[in-house]
Structure 1
């Protein structure tokens, strides 16, 4: 706070405090922080966390999750997009060791990033390469007063036990361990670049080519698979290893995963979120071009001017519902209508994506099926204004996140 207030000439500085409610002195700490912020000419905001850790929960994890959420919300409310955190080199070294003892991979060993944009806010740690002793010397030089949290000495917490035993025995280890975290960050960045190159050739957001993946080296295949899974699920190492060893060309297999399941089908790997009961039939108006999300179905209808398409007036009184079993679908004007199951098989649509939604016009005629497209019998005449319909899974929808701004 002191260093920021001195350096941030012309910028607005706001001190953010999170009241965890875990210590009897917590009210006094909030008052102290507000008083110091006023002394340094900064604004002040405080959030008290609600609730408490449930039985069996990690207090540290509960507090960290709540703290991150509160800091984000307070920063955004203050109109700031830069959040400065005071973690230093010893914190980074401890994080590296704790992650290593948990068997973490490169991402865990990389520890804390120096700067990271998340949900419109830059989380920055400008002191990550600075030793703790140098920061303490600065505070003493400027006669600053601070409060020591008594929980910092509680040996029940792994980080405290590490501090009490490691640094007295190996005082020079801090710099080396922090450097190891930097090497892990570089290795992680390189792995991400390689994965991006591989996935550009091997995948779409919906499908990963398992045949091509199997041609990569084991390490490179595992790296690409983890990167492809990341937007869908936090897959444990055991699942990645099972998938790479159990799949064989031509096999149709499934693996449960956190939040859903993975399916190998026709040489591809697909992600399916946890299946929910399909929504009841509902009226839908798709006359307006654009993206029309359907939250209960896990996707959206994309409506665009295109030929061939469906007469725009016919898209006003639609009914959207699940598959019943007797529907027929015609994929092209010269094709023969087929039962929906057969049409899905011919199109290579996986079994878990054949439930819908289906769109019917006001006369209860099928006009589109998610995953198959428009029924050719619904195509408009060439001289009619027409729109095309295409179904996009949530995983294929465009993502956007602002990263601009200059407030501190």
Structure 2
């Protein structure tokens, strides 16, 4: 038993180097399978023991395989020693032959995040910036087996589902904070902290000690210093066991993803960015619908909702009346049901509140980015605005202020915009982004609704509104 455990957790430098190289080789193969060039690798380098050993191993591997290594350091400014750590990291990177880059960040605690989470968010954003600057398509972190066990324990205490209990993967094609072009690798994830410490001592590795790692006010530190020793005493090798459990959860999660991909097609979506057909989704059993929704939201860049919020979301989106327009706000993005489809739209600022003057000079189309679209001018399309009036007077784009009426056809009476919007099934959020167009103080056109017949003549210019693709459902 002891020899088996030793083989899974090598402690001498050569065995750890071999385990690292095998893991990194698999990671690089997966990066290449994505069609990306892994000839530049960024290392998340804090200067601590784990990232220092990672940089040491990566530099040796890079020299042997003609790969450029960039040591990326984030200066949080939380410690009095932060400047000294920066100087240490730069010196060590140069000594090892790695390029060095760094970013200073300021933590934003206004979003309700604690110091731990705020630091993590800023750290990954800074890494993304450094990867973009260097052109690196892969960033490696020094997460190890004990980190994995701590992650699983923390997720368990939060009541997480399979995605949380899966912990961290050795390879992550896409990380929400790194962007779509940078993959994340964790080549030390299968090695214990004790093994890394032993190897570091054997090669007299120079590293820094962050005093905040001993502060048990932070949850991860509390697990590391107060919970983990008790577990190790009563359940020797618990970290390896939890890591195996995480691997089992990852396998189960992969099967759920496969099922979600099958159900995605059943709901009329050609890919993960396409809308979902609400009626088809409602015909799925609740568990499968939730599974599909979670995977779909994740691909849309939305944070996964809790079970309670998922139940609320499914009820609102699938059980609402056909003429209802439910929406759920996820911060920067909004989930909506539009004409029987579930869509994700970016949350935009309010439309303009002041009049906007447009001068027509004969163009076929005038872009109006402030309103998220373009005003088109069509000839030979029927009754429209006389050309001479368009040249004589500018067009005013205005927001709706209440009480406006439109006459859609000569044979129909004028109607309030509210009733016309309702008849057309235009949801409230789209009405906000439908500018009203005036000519010489007369309402002549309403985006989404059309021309006013009272101000249209045969052979005139017909107005149409074209929404920008990114604002289609805003």
TM-score range, shorter chain: 0.7 to 0.9
Q: 1:348 to 1:271 in 2, by over 3 A?
A: farther
Alignment correspondent of 1:6? 60
Confirm or deny that 1:355 pairs with 2:432.
Answer: yes
Secondary structure in 2 aligned to 1:17? strand
Give distance in 1, aligned partners of 2:412 and 2:248. 59
Q: Which residue of 2 aligns with 1:153?
A: 214
Q: Is the contact between residue 380 and residue 461 of structure 2 (CA under 8 Å) also seen in structure 1? A: no
Match of 1:281 in 2: 355
Matched residue SS, 2:173: strand
Structure 2 distance, partners of 1:138, 1:352, is 59
CA RMSD between the two structures:
4.4
Report the alpha carbon displacement of residue 4 of structure 1 after superposing the two structures with TM.
1.2
Q: How big is the shift at 1:68?
A: 1.6
In the other structure, the counterpart of 2:420 is 343
Shift of 1:209: 4.6
Deviation (angstroms), 1:266: 7.8
- By how many angstroms is 1:185 displaced? 3.2
1:360, distance to aligned residue in structure 2 (A): 2.2
Shift of 1:194: 3.8
Q: Does 1:143 align with 2:200?
A: no
**What is the match of residue 166 of structure 1?**
228
Query: Is 1:213 aligned to residue 281 of structure 2?
Result: yes
User: TM-score, normalised on structure 2?
Assistant: 0.66
* Residues 55 and 280 of structure 1, relative CA distance in 2, 3 Å threshold: closer
Determine if contact 1:321/1:357 at 8 Å carries over to the other structure. no
Q: Is the 8 A contact 2:320 2:326 kept in 1?
A: no
Query: Equivalent residue for 1:403?
Result: none
Q: Which residue of 52, 58, 65 maps to 2:121?
A: 65
State the alpha-carbon separation in 2 of the partners of residues 389 and 349 from structure 1.
Answer: 14
Gapped regions of structure 2 (runs ≥ 5): 1-54
Return the offset for 1:99: 1.1
How many residue pairs match? The answer is 389
Q: 1:219: Cα distance to partner?
A: 0.5
Report Cα offsets for 1:126-185 as digits up to 9, x if no partner: 222333344334434433222232322332222223223325333322223223323333
Whether the 8 Å contact between 2:107 and 2:122 is mirrored in structure 1 is: no
Contact in 1 for aligned 2:351/2:432 (Cα 8 Å): no
Structure ranking higher in helix proportion: 2
SS in 2 for 1:46: strand
Q: What is the CA deviation profile of residues 296-352 of structure 1, one whole-angstrom value per residue up to 9, with x for unaligned ones?
A: x5x4449799996999x9799543322243232638x99886543333222222244
Q: Do the aligned partners of 2:278 and 2:340 also contact (CA within 8 Å) in 1?
A: yes
State whether residues 152 and 166 of structure 2, in contact with CA within 8 Å, keep that contact through their aligned partners in structure 1.
Answer: yes
Deviation of 1:358 after TM superposition, in Å, equals 2.1
- Per the TM alignment, residue 25 of structure 1 is displaced from its structure 2 partner at its CA by 2.4
Cα separation, 1, equivalents of 2:315 and 2:162: 22
Distance of 1:336 and 1:162 partners within structure 2: 72
| Cα distance change, pair 175–73 in 1 and its aligned pair in 2 (3 A) | same
5 Å-filtered alignment, 1:305-324, equals 318-324=395-401
The structure with higher relative contact order (CA 8 Å, sep 6+) is 1
Distance in 2, Cα, partners of 1:223 & 1:375: 45
8 Å CA contact 1:306, 1:387 repeated in 2:
no
Distance 1:208 1:81, change over 3 A: closer
What is the distance in 2 between the residues matched to 1:180 and 1:304? 63
Specify the alignment match of 1:178 in structure 2. 243
Residue 80 of structure 1 pairs with residue 136 of structure 2 = yes
CA distance in 2 between partners of 1:254 and 1:58 (Å): 32
Deviates more, 1:29-38 or 1:153-162: 153-162
Q: TM-score, normalised by structure 1?
A: 0.75
Partner of 1:250: 321
Rounded Cα–Cα distance in structure 2 between residues aligned with 1:379 and 1:82: 59
CA distance in 1, matches of 2:377, 2:195: 60
2:193 pairs with one of 129, 132, 136:
132
The aligned counterpart of 1:328 is 406
| Structure 2 SS opposite 1:8 | helix
- More moved, 134-143 vs 197-206: 197-206
Deviation at 1:262, TM superposition (A): 6.4
Distance 1:301 1:96, change over 3 A: farther
Contact 1:93–1:174, Cα closer than 8 Å, also in 2: yes
Specify the alignment match of 2:148 in structure 1. Answer: 92
Contact between 1:83 and 1:122, CA under 8 Å: does it hold in 2? yes
Q: What are the Cα deviations for residues 15-47 of structure 1, in whole angstroms up to 9, with x where unaligned?
A: 121222222222222222112111101222233
| Distance change in 2, residues 1:81/1:373 (3 Å) | farther
Change (3 A) 1:255 1:375: closer
Q: Secondary structure at the match of 2:432?
A: coil
SS at match of 1:13: strand
Structure possessing the higher radius of gyration over alpha carbons: 2
Does the CA-based 8 Å contact 1:289-1:387 persist in structure 2? Answer: no
Pair 1:335–1:115, CA change in 2 (3 A): farther
Q: In the TM superposition, what is the alpha-carbon distance from 1:249 to its structure 2 partner?
A: 5.7
Structure 1 counterpart SS, 2:123? helix
